Structure 1
């Protein structure tokens, strides 16, 4: 069994199936971005030459067929290429756009062959302009797309006794840092300042999957290493709750940075609808006298009926976490979030200014979360917070509800990892988690009240283990 699947054994089949579908659909996402702190890839690897997957594929490096290495598995490339799991998604990224769906999207956009269109290659392939002789674009999202160009660090990387800190100093990207990892992932799973890393509303209208991201869950699906004692000694152990919370803050910071960008926030005379919640517009339309509104009032969005709402999935999760970890900052965050939504109803200048204030608060939360260790009590308190009367009424639309069930799954997994809940006890809760996943399986049949009931059932079972 691969390391990826082994690390997911405590996830239920229905939940895992949903997550795999999300991961497979979302390899090529994108956006643009300025100089906010969420750009901090903090490594020279961005400008260094990318040598290609073949440079890592020796049997004494990462190209073995069995994960029997003394220090690392050494079969990492095999896992990266695995077609039967989400762990192989990055290696399949270019093939994804070469199939019927990719061809149909490209035809609607009028961009020709998607496998050679810059609009697609910015995220479906390693976009580095500096490529060594062994670099193959057909590798899709290869090692260096995440770890940074190996030109300056590959030699120290395989030197006996070298430290991880030395590799980082040479340009390797320190992905164990949750802020750095989030920034790297968001370049494609939300977007970057690069010209061809932005999935706008027009691309989505042509058929591109909706954008979604959850740092800890997606990292687990892509994990190609064992987090053993040696890994912990060299890089520190992963705190899944810290990774989740930091990822939520960084995603919102990235979104608001891009929204405030003159080149990304508008599309002609329209706002760029990519930033807004799909289902506040994509609802059944009827002008019959007996027609009743289908929207549900959301207490976190002080906007008039009939206006599209900003996609607040990360705002909801941040509010839930901040109430536990940083209450004062959480109150400021909630006020800024409400102020931003209210400003959207006035004019773009007001909205951009309010977005800037909210972005600064989200960045402060990212800093607070990234420095925090999360134990059993805090993790359970965040679970409670997500289903609380203060937060659950905000689950009125599909995107926020998807984030919440992924969060409960991630937090339950974290409790098992912490030793706070046994695998057997967690297994007894899986049916309730699966019901919550089933409630968001199909966006067009999403029912907020049914979802809240399912999520509340899962949280109630977890709460009973306090």
Structure 2
């Protein structure tokens, strides 16, 4: 471990504290436990070796994180029995609990621990039959089938005069052999959304029918959930190996922005396929849950249970598309890709309008909007963000034009997760100290409390607590 690791440990301590506080939001916890991240993409024919192949004491199976290059206790962290960091290892086990059995009975699918509808995301075995289902979401679900690169990965580096360069060269060779380049936000987002949002693959799409049976609503934010699953330390060794420079680290603002773009890109892509409808009905998964799941009043004096939203001009009583990621994307575009921001706004409005016409019009508008989203994702992926950008992004998320669109629970929850992950980015970049960030933790937690219970969500109360959190962050400049 390099001397830089000490500072990185401090950063990790704050990051872990912040994101664990975030997960006090009950819905986020439920979604994370029930819908663990994705299997790796594009690996048909690749050979899986299973978790046991990573578990040696000279690899990732030590009891303590005292390795010289990497921690080497990554498996212990993956197996933590009660924290979000161990959720992947518990993914298959939860299929045997009472709630999962209840869901399975409602769906009529038999044993959920054996049903492909569940195994597609709750176990690597859903896509790699040779791997024990009991392993849950194992290493290869995210890092890729290891058959082509495990031996090289295990071999370590030699004793030549430039071990850093050798580590980098070997890492690049492993990537060519099938290791997933998870340090690339586009690759990581593509892997994660397979299960944390949905894919066209069998067993990787939580329909409205599955949610009606009892499955939690899907909620995802790439950088926050990545922090919860961080089993490594980003030090000089990591910088050399992953980026080819000792001082390079994960760009958390970029990770957040790319994650937002990838989520809505995947949503729009699936909406255009057979996933977009079920029978004579639209697939309600794509719509804003809480536009329908409200209290019903049958009395002489009407009671409005929703607020007007300037971002989606649709007829009263018609459920809107879930635009939580589009709202975040609109904020990010204003800062990081202003030339595309107006196009995004126009095509978003056209898409919402088309949703009120017919499915053919909506699909055509979704295709147009998808092109803009893809361009934004590329723009974010090619841009380096700074600590100052993190402050500017918080300002963008809380600007009036964006803030007025927080009329529903989903968008508001995404906004809180956004400012929290951006605060972590400020700490990681050195713009804000761990102590200063901890000092405003109460403001962030109060914003989370406003979106803790979707049934108790009140837009005005959220706006007040969210505004307080944003002002507290702004005071750290």
TM-score (normalised: structure 2)? 0.91
- Asked if 1:454 is matched to 2:462, the reply is no
Which of the numbers 240, 244, 250 marks the counterpart of 2:262?
250
CA distance in 2 between partners of 1:269 and 1:17 (Å): 38
- Measure how far apart 1:144 and its partner are: 0.5
| Structure-2 residue corresponding to 1:141 | 137
Say which SS state the counterpart of residue 92 (structure 1) adopts: coil
How far is 1:255 from its partner?
A: 0.2
Tell me the C-alpha RMSD between the 2 structures: 2.1
Instruction: Please state how far the C-alpha of 1:9 moved relative to its aligned partner.
Output: 4.6
Work out the CA distance in 2 between the residues paired with 1:46 and 1:376: 40
Structure 2, unmatched stretches of 5+, are 1-8, 158-166, 244-248
Report the CA distance between 1:160 and its aligned residue.
2.6
Task: Check whether the contact 1:12–1:434 (CA below 8 A) recurs between aligned residues.
Answer: no
Contact (CA 8 Å) 1:31, 1:191: kept in 2 or not? no
Query: How far apart are residue 428 of structure 1 and its match?
Result: 2.2
The yes-or-no answer on 1:190 pairing with 2:190 is no
Distance 2:201 2:256 in 1: 25
> What is the deviation of 1:131?
4.7
Give the match for residue 275 of structure 1. 286
Cα drift, residue 23 of structure 1: 4.2
Query: Equivalences for 1:308-327 in 2 at 5 Å?
Result: 308-327=319-338
SS of residue paired to 1:93:
coil
- CA distance change for structure 1 residues 31 and 11 in 2, over 3 Å: closer, same or farther? closer
Q: Is the 8 Å Cα contact of residues 241 and 374 (structure 1) preserved in structure 2?
A: yes
What is the match of residue 361 of structure 2? 350
**1:373-388 alignment to 2 at 5 Å?**
373-388=384-399
CA distance in 2, matches of 1:428, 1:157: 42
Who is 2:122 aligned against?
124
Q: Which residue of 2 aligns with 1:240?
A: 252
Residues 380, 202 of structure 1: CA spacing in aligned structure 2 closer, same or farther, 3 A cutoff? same
> What is aligned with 1:74?
72
The structure-2 alpha-carbon separation of the partners of 1:70 and 1:225, relative to structure 1 and needing over 3 Å to count, comes to same
Deviations 1:165-221 (A, max 9, x none): 010011111111101100100111011121221110000000000001100000000
Contact 1:28–1:189 (Cα < 8 Å) also in 2: no
After superposition, what is the alpha-carbon deviation per residue over 1:244-285, rounded to whole angstroms, capped at 9, x for unaligned? 000000000000000000x20101000000000001111111
- Asked if the contact 2:253–2:425 (Cα under 8 Å) also holds between the matched residues in 1, the reply is yes
1:26 paired residue among 28, 32, 37: 32
Aligned equivalent of 1:224: 231
Contact 2:16–2:228, Cα closer than 8 Å, also in 1? no
Q: Which residue, out of 93, 96, 103, partners 1:95?
A: 93
CA change 1:12–1:82 in 2 (3 A) is closer
User: In 2, distance between residues paired with 1:155 and 1:365?
Assistant: 38
Provide closer, same or farther for how the CA distance between residues 444 and 191 of structure 1 changes in structure 2, counting only shifts above 3 A.
same
Note the residue ranges of structure 1 that are not aligned, 5 or more in a row.
Answer: 33-38
| Of 83-92 and 45-54, the range deviating more from structure 2 | 45-54
Counterpart mapping for 1:8-19 below 5 A: 8-11=15-18, 14-18=21-25
Change (3 A) 1:9 1:206: closer
Number of aligned residue pairs: give it: 453
Q: Distance in 2 between matches of 1:345 and 1:444?
A: 26
Deviation, 1:13, is 6.5
* 3-state secondary structure, aligned to 2:325: helix
1:456–1:446 distance in 2 versus 1, CA, 3 Å: same
1:289 aligns with 2:300: yes
Matched residues in 1 for 2:213 and 2:12: separation? 33
Q: In the TM superposition, what is the alpha-carbon distance from 1:156 to its structure 2 partner?
A: 1.2
